Amino acid sequence: MKVDFTAFLIVLILCFTLNCVLSFELDEPNEKWKIINFTDCWNVAENKSVLPGLVFDEQQENGSSTDCGKWDHKQNDTGPPWLLYMIDRDGNFFDGVIVSKKTIITYGFDKLRGNFKNKENIKIYGGQCDPSNNLSSLCFLKRNLLPTKVKILEKEANFSTFSLSLLKLENFQERTIIVLEIQDVQFSSSLKPVCLWNRGNQNDASEMFFAQDHSTRSLVEASFLAEEKCFNFKISQMECDLYGSTICIGHEKLIQSGFLLIKRDDRFDLRAVSDMNFETRSRYFDLLPFFRKIFAESRDIKILLEISPPPKRIDFGDSQSFEECGKITRRPKRDTADDIESLPFIHNGNNVTTKGKDPWHASLTLHTTIGPIYDFCGATLISKRALVTAAHCLYVVGNKRIKEAQMIEVTLGMLNALEIEDSRQFMRAKYYQLHPKYRHRQGTFKNDIALIIVENDSIKITEFVKPLCLWNNEYELEKIINMPAKVVGWGLTEEHIQPNILQEASVKIVSYEECLKKDPSFYSYNLRPNFNFCAGAPETGTNPCKGDSGGGLVMYNTHLGRFFLRGVVSSGKSRKVILARDADVEEIATCTPDVYTLFTDVTSYIQWIMENAPDINKGKLQN
């Protein structure tokens, strides 16, 4: 059979607009168009992958924009506030949805993806247009021309894995999900983002499905159907491959649906995009397998990375990582978990009143040609020669790495910086070692850990200078959530000054999920499960601050009567404050006290520490 190519293209474009089904006889049969019985596809559905939701909290906007999906669906005069229309210079028309201030999702046949490459010529319409202004250049289908442009077609994103057209034409058969970055827009009652689905792919009739009909710009309530309702008894092998990857819904009359949504309480979630529309039913592609890629392409919608199993535990035995580590001189009402729980704060804090209470904590001073920088970071003594600190502490102003280890002075046994104390010990670093996978320029603080090694016999173990034990318990974070811990340091106080007396803070460790909920944008970029974790007490303004980096998060084991190092102060969300002191006005960066601090999780690095720190006992790797 011969096909007129011009007429064929016209029919194809109409088919794309109407989401119709075309059927042609092909001169050269292709195996994927081979007709088979539908019953032969049942095993495909039975082997369908069960996918969990990519985010964990059904009530929060994790993975979506704040206040997303809220709209009274009975107000159908202008349609959902997330619905967008896009027109290129050739007059091609595309449906889209806005999912954040910077991100739009649309879809189409792969060949039409090229229309977006000339991104400067795409006009985007969204939000309610002023009815008094009927200029076609400003209004389209009651939508306002948005003052924004497509900035980047992120990596020319092509997430399609399915051939949708029943036509044997090269490069004209892929359906593509397209993620577009736009300039920031301001949300309003008539322009707001839709939520992204955050549950699994096990749909049932209890869900409230809505088809977005782009012909009427309204949402049409629909019902969930068994998937076989959208397939004929005799189908092609290609459709059989699709079975188990689509969602079928039913409706009362023919609609031209582009997107499928599910309503939960007062929110709408984007669930799928249209494949084919039939008279009283429609078939959709499940977007859940693509969401992780969509998140990766977006600059302002993020999710928590996958939580992989913790590393294998290293057991140091009864002697722990260093002989007599983690033990301090016992005093009344000291050295207990209750004592940690009642500590005051570093931010809004009080002084440490007992000398020798934190004998493993060290202050780092950097000696430069223009003078010393005191207490720029903290560190934790773990043996007679090795201290653990944060890797970023070994980079100074301008992100330049400290070249000479001898520039670093370590001070141990100090409580009051203004007093002459016999308990103090000073020594210069012999060398330092960054974790080999730390990448300072990437700014993510992943693998933010380092070792400082001092000369042999330069440290004397006393009542006021003692090593802390490396963690020798269960590694799973779930085992220590809400347990008390403490941090100490000479970082900035609430007055934005460095204290003279060592400050201490009582903090509690929280789950990855709880941390991400506090500030999804910040923590989705910086939180790396198993490599770091969150702790603090933001409800009371408790937080380590600038200058506390590198210090240890310490936990007490009542059974063993020892303190252990579980984390290293790594990073937190910063803010700028204007200080007016005397006649000077200065802007400085400081900590944000009402969020959590990120701590490098020592358990992922104990083997590296054991292999590189002198004098550490050689533990055994557990199976």
pLDDT tens per residue, range 446-477: 899 999 999 999 999 999 999 999 999 889 99
How far is C-alpha 125 from the chain's CA centre? 30
Residue 380: partners with Cβ closer than 8 Å, 6 or more residues away: 360, 361, 362, 387, 388, 389, 468, 550, 551, 552, 565, 568
Q: Is residue 591 a contact partner of residue 429, using CB atoms and an 8 Å limit?
A: no
Q: How far apart are CA 247 and CA 266, in angstroms?
A: 23
Amino acid sitting at position 70: K
Q: How far apart are CA 488 and CA 440, in angstroms?
A: 24
Q: How far apart are CA 99 and CA 215, in angstroms?
A: 21
pLDDT of residue 337: 37
Q: Is residue 351 a contact partner of residue 458, using CB atoms and an 8 Å limit?
A: no
Q: How many other CB atoms are found less than 10 A from the CB of residue 71?
A: 21
pLDDT of residue 238: 63
Query: 377 by DSSP, 3-state: which?
Result: strand
Amino acid sitting at position 412: L
Residue 169: partners with Cβ closer than 8 Å, 6 or more residues away: none
pLDDT of residue 286: 85
pLDDT of residue 552: 94
Q: How many other CB atoms are found less than 10 A from the CB of residue 312?
A: 12
Q: Number of C-alpha atoms within 13 angstroms, CB side, residue 287? A: 26
Token pair for residue 519?
């500030």
pLDDT of residue 39: 62
pLDDT of residue 347: 44
Q: Between these two residues, 38 and 64, which has the higher pLDDT value?
A: 64
| Sheet of 123-128, strands arranged across | 139-140, 143-145, 123-128, 83-87, 93-98, 103-109, 175-182, 150-153
Q: How far apart are CA 330 and CA 79, in angstroms?
A: 70
Residue recorded with tokens 């979506």: 64
Domain boundaries of the chain, sorted by first residue: 5-297, 314-621
How much is the average pLDDT of 507-528? 85
Q: What number does CATH give the domain 314-621?
A: 2.40.10.120
Say if residue 374's pLDDT is above 70: yes
Q: How far apart are CA 557 and CA 543, in angstroms?
A: 23
Residue 617's pLDDT band, with cuts at 50, 70 and 90, is very high
Nearest Cα to 535, choosing from 543, 525, 527? 543
Say if residue 294's pLDDT is above 60: yes
Q: Between these two residues, 390 and 67, which has the higher pLDDT value?
A: 390
Q: Using the Cα atoms of residue 175, residue 181, residue 182 and residue 188 in order, give the sign of their dihedral.
A: positive
Domain 5-297 identical in fold to domain 314-621: yes
pLDDT of residue 173: 40
Nearest Cα to 65, choosing from 100, 102, 103, 96? 100
Beta bridge partner(s), residue 139: 144
- Can you state the percent helix, strand and coil of the chain, rounding each to 5? 15, 35, 50
pLDDT of residue 103: 87
Per DSSP, the chain holds a count of helices (H) and strands (E) of 8, 36
- Among 103-107, 304-308, 345-349, the range scoring the smallest mean pLDDT is 345-349
Say if residue 151's pLDDT is above 50: yes
Residue-wise DSSP of 259-317: EEEEEETTEEEEEEEEEEE-SSEEEEEE-HHHHHHHHHH-SS---PPP-PPPPPPEE--
- Among 7-21, 179-193, 216-230, 532-546, the range scoring the smallest mean pLDDT is 7-21
pLDDT tens per residue, range 401-431: 998 999 999 999 988 877 788 889 999 999 9
Say if residue 310's pLDDT is above 50: yes
Residue 592: partners with Cβ closer than 8 Å, 6 or more residues away: 543, 572, 573, 574, 575
Report the share of the chain in percent with pLDDT over 90: 30
Q: How far apart are CA 245 and CA 272, in angstroms?
A: 11
Query: 434 by DSSP, 3-state: which?
Result: strand
Pick the CATH number of 5-297 from 2.40.10.10, 1.20.1730.10, 3.10.180.10, 3.30.70.1150: 2.40.10.10
In terms of DSSP bridges, do strands 103-109 and 175-182 run parallel, antiparallel, or are they unpaired? antiparallel
Beta bridge partner(s), residue 574: 591
Q: Is residue 101 a contact partner of residue 240, using CB atoms and an 8 Å limit?
A: no
Residue 212's pLDDT band, with cuts at 50, 70 and 90, is confident
For the full predicted model, state whether its pTM sits above 0.85.
no
Classify each residue of 24-34 as buried b or exposed e, where b means 16 or more C-beta atoms within 10 Å of its C-beta: eeeeeeeeebe
Listed as own residue / partner, the contacts of 200-206 with beta carbons closer than 8 Å and 24 or more positions apart are: 200/50, 200/51, 200/52, 200/53, 200/288, 201/49, 201/50, 201/51, 201/286, 201/288, 202/50, 203/247
Token pair for residue 350?
């009080």
Q: Between these two residues, 84 and 498, which has the higher pLDDT value?
A: 84
